[in-house]
């Protein structure tokens, strides 16, 4: 089994447990959305609309509102995270394991999104939280600027 598939199973477990705990229901639609999201959008940053359009191809009966609601559900149980890169629409990403926690560099020119991870930053943040008696649950870090390609294009 691939690492991606293993991760998917782990998320599925979390999701099922959340559903059970909150006395929610497991539905066909939720299964479909889960599958699409965790199969095709690992490491991506998908818009609700994009996900909806994609799902609609194979499952035309699924409603827009349901996709919204389901992504929110994924957020609540911690298997998806919401990002906001300043273009007015929320983006969602399947969370990976703690070990793979990462952040984003966004190019102001071409809009491309690069990922990076850095242990030193993470431990800094933990220290800061501790120092302020703040119980950290999540954090977001975004770097905006010019990617190497656009930088090169500019000087050329």
CA 12, 68, 75 angle in degrees (round to 5)? 45
97 binds a second copy (CB under 8 A): no
DSSP letters of 47-63?
A: EHHHHHHHHHHH-TT--
129 binds a second copy (CB under 8 A): yes
Q: Does 81 bind DNA (CB under 7 A)?
A: no
The interface partner of residue 142, options being DNA, a second copy, none and the CB cut-off 5 to 8 Å by kind, is: a second copy
Torsion of CA 21, 23, 24, 27, to 10 degrees: 100
Nearer CB in complex with DNA: 8/91: 91
Nearest to 56 by CA among 80, 33, 31, 38: 33
Other C-beta atoms within 10 Å of 37: how many?
A: 26
Q: Of 88 and 98, which has the nearer Cβ to DNA?
A: 88
Question: Using CA atoms, how far apart are residues 135 and 107, in angstroms rounded to an integer?
Answer: 31
Q: Measured from the CB atom, is 4 or 90 closer to DNA?
A: 90
Residue 135 contacts a second copy per CB under 8 A = yes
The answer to whether 14 contacts DNA (rule: CB under 7 A) is no
65 touches DNA (CB under 7 A): yes
66 part of the interface to DNA, by CB under 7 A: yes
Q: 3-state DSSP call for residue 91?
A: strand
The terminus-to-terminus CA distance of the chain in angstroms comes to 46
Considering only 65-73, 96-104, 110-118, 124-132, which stretch makes contact with DNA by CB under 7 A?
65-73
Q: Which parts of this chain interact with a second copy (CB under 8 A)? A: 82, 84, 86, 105, 107-108, 114, 116, 118, 120-121, 124-125, 128-129, 132-148, 151
């Amino acid at each position: 089994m691939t690492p991606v598939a293993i991760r998917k199973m782990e998320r599925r477990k979390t999701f099922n447990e959340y559903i059970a705990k909150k006395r929610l229901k497991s539905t066909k639609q939720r299964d479909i959305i889960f599958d699409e999201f965790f199969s095709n959008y690992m490491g991506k940053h998908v818009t609700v609309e994009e996900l909806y359009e994609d799902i609609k191809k194979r499952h035309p009966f699924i409603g827009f509102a349901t996709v919204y609601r389901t992504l929110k559900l994924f957020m609540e149980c911690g298997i998806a995270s919401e990002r906001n890169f300043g273009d007015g629409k929320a983006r969602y990403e399947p969370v990976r394991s703690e070990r793979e926690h990462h952040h984003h560099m966004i190019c102001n020119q071409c809009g491309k999104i690069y990922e990076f991870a850095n242990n030193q930053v993470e431990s800094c943040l933990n220290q800061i939280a501790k120092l302020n008696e703040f119980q950290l649950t999540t954090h977001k870090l975004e770097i905006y600027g010019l990617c190497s390609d656009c930088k090169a294009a500019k000087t050329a």
